[in-house]
Amino acid sequence: MINFLARRLFAGVVLILVITTLAYALIYSSAGNAARNILGENATADDVAAKARELGLDRPLHEQYFDWFSNAIRGDLGVSWFTSEPVSALLANRLPVTLSMVILAVLVTAVISAILGVTAAVRGGWLDRLLQVVSVIGFSLPNFWVALVLVVIFAVAVPIFPATGYVPMSESLSGWFLALILPVIALVLGGIASAAQQIRGAVIDVLDMDYVRTLRARGLSSTSVLLRHVLRNAAPPALTVLSLQFIALLGGAVVIERVFAIPGMGTLTINSSFQGDVPALMGVVVALVILVVIVNLVIDLANGWINPKARLQ
Amino acid sequence: MHDTASAAPLLVAKDVVVEYPRKGFRAKPFQVLHGVSLDILPGETVGLVGESGSGKTTLGRAILGLVQPASGTITFDGQDITALDRKERRKLSDSIQVVFQDPYTSLNPTMTVGDILSEPLLAKPELKGSARARISELLEQVGLPSGAVDKYPREFSGGQRQRVAIARALALSPRLIVCDEPVSALDLSTQARVLDLFIEIQERTGVAYLFVSHDLSVVRHISHRVAVMFKGDIVEYGDGDQVTSHPTHPYTQKLLMSAPVADPRRQRERREERRLLLAGTGSEGQP
Amino acid sequence: MTEATTALTNAPLPTAPGRVSITRTVLRNPLGLTALIILTLIILISVVAPFFAPHDPSEVKIDKILAPPSADYLLGGDGAGRDVFSRLIWAGQNTLLGALIAVTIALVLGSVAGLIAGYFGKAFDAAFSWASNILMALPAMIVLLALYQTLGGSVYSTMAVFGVMLSPGFFRLVRNQVIAVKNELYVDAARVSGLSDTRIISRHILRVVRSPIIIQTSVIAGIAIIIQSGLEFLGLGDPATPTWGGMLQDAFSNIYINPPGILWPGLIIAATVASLVLLGNAVRDGLQGPRAAAVRPRAVPQHPHGHTAAQGAIEALDADPGKAPLLRVKDIQVGYGNTENPITVVRGVSFDVAPGEIVGIVGESGSGKTQTAFSILGLLPRGGRVLSGSIQFRGRDITFAPESEMQKLRGRDIAYIPQEPMSNLDPSFTIGHQLVEPMQAVLKISKEEARKRALALLARVGIADPERTFRSYPHEISGGMAQRVLIAGAVSCEPKLLIADEPTTALDVTVQAEVLDLLRDLQSEMGMGIVMVTHNFGVVADLCDRVVVMQHGRVVETNDAETLFYAPAEPYTKSLLGATLDDAPPRPPLGQKFLSSSSKGQNHA
């Protein structure tokens, strides 16, 4: 088990290194006219050159990267070119907002899609057919459009929930919850349908296994076979579905934050992208990759705990 | 080794060792065959019997070039074919052919019988022109109607599919066919008919078979000579009737005694014999 | 984003498309046809937009800002006073082109890499799979935003990069399919036939991979359209160019003044994506037959005797169970499918099993012998049920007994030994757990007591180190051992009747002999009746007292074992016995032919 953990951890670190290196090369390669962007159209060529020198952009890319990297492992991700705030501080402000929204969304997705998927697999019939229809609809509606519809309904027509804005958890727990209701609904609608579909498939696969019949032939009730044996064997694929959901929700959060005016990672990414705020973008990438690695590690551990074979491999 | 061995052997396998790499760094490879030797005469059937994990299928695959031996030699018609490259090996397709166990997975479900049978002819440009005629000839040989050409494998029963597989093996008039458990997936009555087809084809065309099976009675019925494999070694090799009816090696004896006979009284006797045999040699049946 | 690529295609992929023409399949499916028509219309209108649109997309009329629909502006005006209708059809071009770029790149990159990784394996596979996992681990939207400046602020180059990020969807599909196909025996056969790698790939592999790729493409195209609209909605790209996402952005900025503005761009995106997905579904359904769910009314096998379950209470037909046979199966019919027109697989089977008697059910594949066995247990596979007839166990009619009653009988009174040892053990639990759990449930004993019993049973069925096997997981033991474990489980509650379904077929012949000995010993110890389903007359001769011969769902002959073997009554029984090779002559030495009369097999040729 330790061996298994160590290998996964190592793979995670490699992933972080590869992606940050790649991202650095790609993002900084376009940073050439960053100095002019910052100073505006009226700056003289000398001013621009001086600014570029100040930002270190005149040095070879690998040297810049080496500096950035050696600072980054000490937690210093540089300073935003536009607001002069440290990137780590920017992230510390934004990450909790997005994370609280995405974690809430993953939990909602997990609970609802598990219930829907298992019920559809076991009961079949109209519920199963309904799930097929809903999953096509859920997939086809862009989540930002669903968000817009929610804004129209709840901000314009029936103002029950706050349609925009964000309240930190530390300020007011109920305010935080109310502010996140609409964004989370918009985020999870598509994901629940597809996750439920996949969980349904996983459960049906296990229900068709020979050992399910044999266990029932031993006198176990179908309920206890379902709860103890079927769900346990269907869990690994379901967990993988949820880890992919997490990544999808992180991406989806960008647009949702824009619609609901939530000051999270998405808003930071959009602003930095349009301004060409390279250090801030790198910060976003680093934070995301670490997050993804942690989630995958947790899922791997859970799978190893559930599935005796995975532990050995 | 065999008294009718006046002709030169068609195939000689000598000290063939096959290993599979084990998982893990520097792990010693797993040896499936520990130096197996075997010869097949032209027109002869050599039966290869053994249980799962004995290495019988691996030996067949090594002869077919689907597995690379770690050491030892395989000679076909005087030519060393142990380590041919893909191109050289392809030239052997008109000499050595195969019929696999499972007639369901050995035929591509998306291809018609005609497509399947024309496959071996594809590789031979000189045969392309007469492909159509050759296919109906092949179908006739294996007892399938000529209308089968445009049908898909799923439209046939297990026995008929195995006939298609046999026809494919015959397409290039090979001199040796490796038959890997070709009747074990079939029902009893179908099995008997397919075995008869194998014998009939051999008597007509003079093709040789390496007939791999776990079933002693099947092997006995079709083989001139029989080799018994146990854990990667041939433990007994000789005249078919002698090996399958009066085996000398304890493992072969155990194998024979273990197979139940379809006759209650004789089965009772056989059970007793087996009990005595095991009491005498220990239950592993090892040499 | 990639979660959805697997979501909508997770149904088992078709393996035998055969002669089915993809176009015809789609046209025959009403939903598929509708989707195809909608999609064609959207594409067509987008292409001919320059000739078709009533206004130029950037034509501004100040008086039409956020105007309601009118004869001039069919769908009203947007925030800048442009015609929503004209912009909508002009935008199609831009959005669809972006999606096309992404899909093409994903398709080519993913499929080629998948083919190479799958077919040649090793280093290629390791490298490509690693790259694919990295791409899948990243949220596309954020990566695309981060790279937006690098890519020169162009939507098309952004979509090209998105294509790369989508390629794992194709890569994983193609790779897995290729690996599955590569291990098929027909590819080995093609190799032996002398075909080259390129020929094998084009003849065997591409054929199989083609339809899954078509299905996947429809889903990926849908994702591309949604992500592109999302990027445009955020403001990427040239604001002057009309796009569906850009139109939504405009509607969003005026959302408090003109809420209905969000309607049309959203609907057209949804309609396009839904059509693509439905088209893909239609292809999939056509290739694999009706959706699995349609033929599986209930997922957990309910008691098979569904339609008359109302009258289900167990009735005592015979007051004295001592006189009745242990099991009486009377004229049962078993069928699958809908109620009006079921496909019957067992057509009126009757036989009795006396206490302590071993009855063999013999037949070839498709004879209905296994279905008969399952119907006694009340565990027919999904969709199967007893249509008529009766099954009496110790004088009680259990044919239409409710599930709760059957559950009380199973394990304690009627037990089951399956055919395939490995697949009948739950891989996630130890052997010990799988023995202890049912014993606790059935016998209502403590865990400790059940554990002691389980260890004793494991020793009884001939397992050398019971403690160790008890702690093992199924994948850690051999097939022969697994079958002993299953036998231990079956007899753990001392049943009166044991249903054994081909219990030795999957075993080696030497192990088979040992398992047959074990079954014989256990039977004489416990005195249970056994129904032995088998195709092997040797097994019947070894074990059975009486034999039922089945063919095509019917009983051909029922007889005691001695009579059946030495004086079979029916020609079919005779022909089956005649096909056994036990007494067939050995092949004469090379150079001599069989005398035609002595070749037993040739009688059936």
Order of strands across the sheet that contains B79-80: B30-40, B11-20, B71-76, B79-80
Residue C356 exposed, middle or buried by CB count within 10 Å (0-12, 13-18, 19+):
middle
- pLDDT score of B24: 63
| Span C58-80, average pLDDT | 79
Rounded to a whole number of angstroms, the distance from the CA of C53 to the nearest CA of chain A is: 25
Residues 45 through 74 of chain B touching chain C, CB cutoff 8 Å: 45, 51-52, 64-66
Considering A37-41, A64-68, C27-31, the range whose residues carry the highest mean pLDDT is: A64-68
φ/ψ (deg, to 5) at B108: -65, 120
Q: Give the one of A216, A250, A289 whose C-beta lies nearest to C410's C-beta.
A: A216
Reported as a pLDDT band with limits 50, 70 and 90, residue C426 is very high
Give the pair of three-digit tokens for residue B245.
Answer: 């009816």
Q: Please say whether the beta carbons of A87 and A98 come within 8 A.
A: no
Token match 């301004």: residue? A275
| Span A11-18, average pLDDT | 89
Give the pair of three-digit tokens for residue B186.
Answer: 């079939």
> pLDDT for C340-362, tens place per residue?
788 899 999 999 999 999 999 99
Residues linked to residue B49 through DSSP beta bridges, in sequence order:
B213, B228
Q: How high is the mean pLDDT of chain B?
A: 88
* Contact (CB<8Å) B262/C587: no
- pLDDT score of C593: 65
Length of chain C as a residue count:
605
- pLDDT score of C2: 40
Q: Does domain C17-47+91-293 have CATH number 1.10.3720.10?
A: yes
Q: Which chains touch A (3 or more CB pairs under 8 A)?
A: C
φ/ψ (deg, to 5) at C390: -145, 150
Does residue C557 surpass a pLDDT of 50?
A: yes
Q: Which of B187, B165, B169, B185 is nearest to B177 (CA)?
A: B169
| Span A265-273, average pLDDT | 90
- pLDDT score of C305: 40
- Give the least confident one: B165-179, B221-235, C86-100: C86-100
Identify the helix (H) or strand (E) that includes residue C386. Answer: strand C384-393
Token match 């793979």: residue? A11
Rounded to a whole number of angstroms, the distance from the CA of B15 to the nearest CA of chain C is: 23
Better-scored residue on pLDDT, C101 or A166: C101
- pLDDT score of C20: 53
Q: Which residues does chain A have within 8 Å of residue C95's beta carbon, measured at their own beta carbons?
A: none
CA distance readout (Å), C400 to A223, C305, C335, C405, C412: 20, 5, 14, 10, 19
Better-scored residue on pLDDT, C205 or A105: A105
Q: Give the one of C248, C298, C428 whose C-beta lies nearest to A145's C-beta.
A: C248
CB crowding A154-171: b at 16 or more within 10 Å, else e: bbeeeeebbbeebbeeee
Reported as a pLDDT band with limits 50, 70 and 90, residue C438 is very high
> pLDDT for A66-120, tens place per residue?
888 888 888 888 888 888 889 999 999 999 999 999 999 999 999 999 999 999 9
Q: Please say whether the beta carbons of A90 and A80 come within 8 A.
A: yes
* Contact (CB<8Å) C3/A18: no
Give the pair of three-digit tokens for residue C196.
Answer: 């080259």
- pLDDT score of B163: 93
| Span C31-54, average pLDDT | 87
Q: Which chains touch C (3 or more CB pairs under 8 A)?
A: A, B
> pLDDT for C460-509, tens place per residue?
999 989 999 999 999 999 999 999 999 999 999 999 999 999 999 888 99
> pLDDT for C108-151, tens place per residue?
999 999 999 998 888 899 999 999 988 888 888 888 888 887 77
- pLDDT score of C255: 83
Reported as a pLDDT band with limits 50, 70 and 90, residue A27 is confident
φ/ψ (deg, to 5) at C592: -110, 145
- pLDDT score of C267: 92
Residue ranges per structural domain of chain C: 17-47+91-293
| Span C562-585, average pLDDT | 90
> pLDDT for B174-196, tens place per residue?
999 999 999 988 888 888 889 99
Interface probe for B, chosen from C581, C595, C597, C600 (most Cβ of B below 10 Å), is C581
- What percentage of chain A exceeds 90 in pLDDT? 34
CA distance readout (Å), A244 to A9, A249, A293, C3: 19, 9, 12, 5
Question: Does B218 contact C at CB distance below 8 Å?
Answer: yes
- pLDDT score of A307: 76
Those residues whose C-beta lies under 8 Å from the C-beta of residue A115, and which sit 6 or more positions away, are none
Those residues whose C-beta lies under 8 Å from the C-beta of residue B179, and which sit 6 or more positions away, are B98, B99, B198, B209, B210, B211, B212
Rounded to a whole number of angstroms, the distance from the CA of C353 to the nearest CA of chain B is: 20
Better-scored residue on pLDDT, C580 or C27: C580
φ/ψ (deg, to 5) at C500: -110, 115
- Give the least confident one: A179-188, B17-26, C30-39: B17-26
| Span B207-235, average pLDDT | 94
Give the span between the Cα atoms of B168 and B123, in whole angstroms.
13
Q: Please say whether the beta carbons of C25 and C282 come within 8 A.
A: yes
DSSP sequence for chain B: --TTTTSPPSEEEEEEEEEEPPSSTTPPPEEEEEEEEEEE-TT-EEEEE--TTSSHHHHHHHHHTSS--SEEEEEETTEE-TT--HHHHHHGGGTEEEE-S-TTTSS-TTS-HHHHHHHHHHT-HHHHTTHHHHHHHHHHHTT--GGGGGS-GGGS-HHHHHHHHHHHHHTT--SEEEEESTTTTS-HHHHHHHHHHHHHHHHHH--EEEEEES-HHHHHHH-SEEEEEETTEEEEEEEHHHHHHS--SHHHHHHHHHSPPS-HHHHHHHHHHHHHHHHHH-TT---
Q: How many contacts does B have with C, using Cβ atoms within 8 A?
A: 213
* Contact (CB<8Å) B2/C590: yes
- pLDDT score of C309: 36
N- to C-terminal Cα separation, chain B: 21
Please tell me whether residue A20 adopts helix, strand or coil conformation: helix
Does residue C313 surpass a pLDDT of 60?
A: no
Q: Give the one of A217, A245, A258 whose C-beta lies nearest to C410's C-beta.
A: A217
> pLDDT for A108-159, tens place per residue?
999 999 999 999 998 887 888 888 888 888 889 999 999 999 988 887 777 7
Reported as a pLDDT band with limits 50, 70 and 90, residue C296 is very low
Identify the helix (H) or strand (E) that includes residue C530. Answer: strand C529-534
Give the span between the Cα atoms of C292 and B225, in whole angstroms.
50
* Contact (CB<8Å) B189/C576: yes
Q: How high is the mean pLDDT of chain C?
A: 84
Q: Please say whether the beta carbons of C505 and C419 come within 8 A.
A: yes
- pLDDT score of A310: 62
Residues linked to residue B46 through DSSP beta bridges, in sequence order:
B210, B225
Q: How many contacts does A have with C, using Cβ atoms within 8 A?
A: 274
Better-scored residue on pLDDT, C440 or A1: C440
Q: Please say whether the beta carbons of C84 and C266 come within 8 A.
A: no
Does residue C303 surpass a pLDDT of 80?
A: no
> pLDDT for C373-425, tens place per residue?
999 999 998 888 999 999 999 989 999 889 889 999 999 999 999 999 999 99
Residues linked to residue C414 through DSSP beta bridges, in sequence order:
C410, C497
Token match 């050159």: residue? A49
Better-scored residue on pLDDT, C51 or A257: A257
- pLDDT score of C569: 93
Q: How high is the mean pLDDT of chain A?
A: 86
Question: Does A128 contact C at CB distance below 8 Å?
Answer: yes
Does residue B10 surpass a pLDDT of 90?
A: yes
Residues 144 through 163 of chain B touching chain C, CB cutoff 8 Å: 152, 154, 158
- pLDDT score of C107: 95
| Span C431-454, average pLDDT | 95
Q: Give the one of C8, C418, C492 whose C-beta lies nearest to A210's C-beta.
A: C418
